Chain A
């Protein structure tokens, strides 16, 4: 039976230390209180959990395997590498863990209309999918620039019955799509449920998304005990907003220090941290407020948000969730960053050695593992979160890699 675990944080005000909170227009505060109350009640309701469990198993395809990447382990010559195969889920990424949970919550709250933001379109497709599954009206906001770059995902969403609304404001990417989704929610707050895609936004979203995604780490716990009789030595995951990483890390993060695996989050260094064209909010950002939450962010001397850059559209967000911000300060997890170029190497490496084409997001985790794993002992175990599959990125990779293959 599925369980949505309890964690020591956030506190009652939605804070992870100083991070998180509810920095939103007052209009939304009652709606957030309503979502929080409904979620807390649902989490304890066996009927809700049974329904979510049912869809995770029969629709999304859980549990996902923990796969021993033997050739990759041999190639790096260090620890044994295992891949958590979230890429095998329906719609091709971990996003569905969360969208199923939130859509069921929306249904429970009697909201027939759901809205979402999307960058590359993965979360949008995932929301459109669950909206079709449950017969809900669905509107997805997407930056004009992303609509142009991700025409295939726009078509997918339309095929699934969603309306895709291009956003022409600001940098015309994910952050602006998020602003517009929040504006829609401000306007239709009484009838609409906002399905946020990452562990960002106002409380209770970072908490709720974490808990829906923590099925990843809970499964890894059980699978590790079965396979090795203990927990892994290190966990590695890519971090944009941070939902796949939190899903893997959170079930381990609050263990006593001696029992806790090394947790390594990998941000996108884009063209390099010194170029300013990157998405490394922890690596090169400052604390601030965006989309309702206090967290590490990219902004200039006046507090104006600066656009993020990454070859991976899913990491292309100028902030990182409040719980990651807290982990970073407390030393619970360590955060590194890899460049576009390194990520593309990871992308090729996994394809050639294991027959798996990873999403460019997950390729960041592979690329950083290449630096960490060779330093470890052969009897140690590393789990990398393979958060999504690379089909969506093949065209972009072909453009970037050209004849190099």
Chain B
């Protein structure tokens, strides 16, 4: 299933696409796979985070999850194997969220090729503004990976134009100035940001950061997709089932107000 098809299918059902995020290896290798099986029925696309020692775009919840995963021995090799196993479970588009240094450590060509072979659809690179390294972005695309970049409420028109030029797959719109983590409400400017991005690209736009339940999901559903991460991780931390949260978020996705 292509990324485009996944977004279109959700749209045909009158809702935004749901993109759950899970940190690979959290709460453990097996726990991650279990959580993945739990989110799969609700997911239109998937985001898997490669745990990193210095995740400067992430709030405390995902920081903790990354630390736990690394302490339990999760590695790039381990994430590759998990991606392969998830790919065996589902044809849905699967994006690897990774900070740049692990890519550089493995060598970009090797890293990209291995994740492509393992079944990844694309990459989300939170600390790579694409114009910092256009050759790296081209390489990932030539290897067959989609390249997703972030845009933020602070992004100027100029930045939006630059970033969409390099983006494939979808655009990740950050709902708030800040790091990942649940919020009670999203700022009104998220609607404005989605509109500003849509004016410059035909790619689907997904909103992430801060989605914690039905109300925030409804606010984010002005976009084509909604990412939910920290709320899932926190439920896993607390040993709660994920289905009720996903059900709640899903209901919010139908309530989208016109953008």
Contacts and interface: CB of A to CB of B under 8 A. Distances in A.
Interface of A: 13, 21-31, 169-170, 175-176, 179, 182-183, 186-190, 286-292, 297, 299-305
A187 B127 CA distance: 16
Given A187-B179, A302-B75, 6 more contacts: A29-B155, A170-B67, A183-B57, A186-B179, A300-B105, A303-B101
A291 B163 contact: no
B56 interface: yes
Given A21-B132, A288-B105, A299-B101, A26 B152 contact: yes
A29 B102 contact: no
Interface of B: 52-57, 59-60, 63, 67, 70, 75-76, 99-106, 126-129, 132-133, 149-156, 159, 163, 174, 177-179
Interface residues of B: mostly helix, strand, loop or mixed? loop
Contacts of A30: 154-156, 159
Given A22-B132, A187-B179, A289-B100, A182 B154 contact: no
A289 B211 CA distance: 29
Contacts of A24: 56, 127, 129
B154 A22 contact: no
Contacts, number: 120
Contacts of A299: 101, 105
A147 to B, nearest CB: 18
A279 B11 CA distance: 53
A174 to B, nearest CB: 12
A26 B103 contact: no
Contacts of B105: 286, 288, 299-303
A191 to B, nearest CB: 10
Contacts of A26: 129, 149-152, 155, 159, 163, 174
23 contacts: A23-B129, A25-B127, A26-B150, A26-B152, A27-B155, A29-B129, A29-B159, A169-B60, A169-B63, A170-B63, A175-B54, A179-B56, A183-B178, A186-B178, A187-B177, A286-B105, A288-B104, A289-B99, A289-B127, A290-B54, A297-B101, A301-B105, A302-B106
Contacts of B53: 170, 304-305
| A-B residue pairs, 6 tightest by C-beta | A303-B105, A303-B102, A27-B152, A187-B178, A303-B101, A304-B53
A188 B105 CA distance: 32
A20 B105 CA distance: 17
A193 to B, nearest CB: 15
Contacts of B102: 302-304
Contacts of A288: 101, 104-105
A291 B57 CA distance: 11
Contacts of B133: 21
B56 A169 contact: no
Contacts of B76: 302-303
A182 B156 CA distance: 20
A180 to B, nearest CB: 9
Contacts of A176: 54
B178 A289 contact: no
A305 B53 CA distance: 6
A29 B155 CA distance: 8
A139 to B, nearest CB: 15
A293 to B, nearest CB: 11
A87 B13 CA distance: 69
A278 B124 CA distance: 33
Contacts of A287: 104
A23 B149 CA distance: 12
B170 to A, nearest CB: 15
A390 to B, nearest CB: 31
Contacts of A305: 53-54, 101
B152 A25 contact: yes
Nearest to A21: B132
Contacts of A304: 52-53, 70, 101-102
B100 A186 contact: no
A285 to B, nearest CB: 12
Contacts of B67: 169-170
Nearest to B173: A26
A302 B101 CA distance: 8
Contacts of A187: 177-179
A96 B154 CA distance: 31
B54 A170 contact: yes
Contacts of A179: 54-56
A23 B100 contact: yes
Given A23-B100, A25-B57, A304-B52, A189 B177 contact: yes
Contacts of B150: 25-27
B24 to A, nearest CB: 12
Nearest to B178: A187
Contacts of B156: 30
Q: Identify which of B56, B75, B128 gathers the most chain A CB atoms within 10 Å of its CB.
A: B56
Contacts of B55: 179
A142 to B, nearest CB: 16
